[in-house]
Structure 1
Amino acid sequence: MQHHVGVITIHLKYEIDADKLEDFAEYGRRWVGLVNRFGGTHHGYFLPSEGDSDIAYALFSFPSLAAYEQYRTDSMTDPECQDAFELARSTRCIKRYERRFLRPLDVT
């Protein structure tokens, strides 16, 4: 398995309000499309099933850290991104989150 030099994968761990799971799911559905529109590859949101009922994850990649930083800058002024941010703010479905930057293991 090869990876492109510089690929960065962002891992998000969310602590969510378990009573607002559907609000969080809508938030996730929006971001999958948005990340892809901005040149990333969204690997999906992963919602609680068994075990902890208030932890969710998301994974998405960009070709480089610079591409990710451009997405972050552009998302601050994009109306659809702002709507998604506002959904999370107004419903308070996200209590907190952690962001990690990962790189694929080169096994060649």
Structure 2
Amino acid sequence: MITCVVDYVIDPAKIEAFEEFGRRWVELVNRHGGTHHGYYLPSEGASDRAIALFSFPSFAAYEKYRELFGVDPDFLAADKIRNDSGCVLRYDRTFMRPLAD
């Protein structure tokens, strides 16, 4: 299993657009073989940071999902929310694996 951790810097004035963006991506990840663990939004402290966590059974499965970026209409529509609203200022993606016993 591989888990993608996406660390976002968001525009706090556009949190509703970010929430809609997140809802779309949760559905897309789950529909295309992954398990989305959710988006975590600001509550206290820094108000411009959000995190998303989702997993795929393997990096190969993740790559198959990534092939849909820029091609699939549902993926394009989800990105359009981000692009049109400007809710995401920056993001970094990191891949993690669980520690096996």
Alignment TM-score, normalising by the size of structure 2: 0.98
- Larger CA Rg, structure 1 vs 2: 1
For 2:9, the equivalent position in structure 1 comes to 15
Q: Does 1:78 align with 2:72?
A: yes
Of residues 47, 57, 63, the one that matches 2:51 is 57
Q: Does 1:48 align with 2:3?
A: no
For 1:3, the equivalent position in structure 2 comes to none
For 1:97, the equivalent position in structure 2 comes to 91
Task: Tell me how large the CA RMSD over aligned residues is.
Answer: 0.6
Distance 1:75 1:93 in 2: 19
For 1:66, the equivalent position in structure 2 comes to 60
Alignment TM-score, normalising by the size of structure 1: 0.91
Amino acid at match of 2:36: H
Unaligned stretches of 5+ residues in structure 1: 1-6
Unaligned stretches of 5+ residues in structure 2: none
Q: CA deviation at 1:78?
A: 1.1
Matched residues, number: 101
| Runs (4+) off by over 6 Å | none
Aligned sequence identity (%): 56
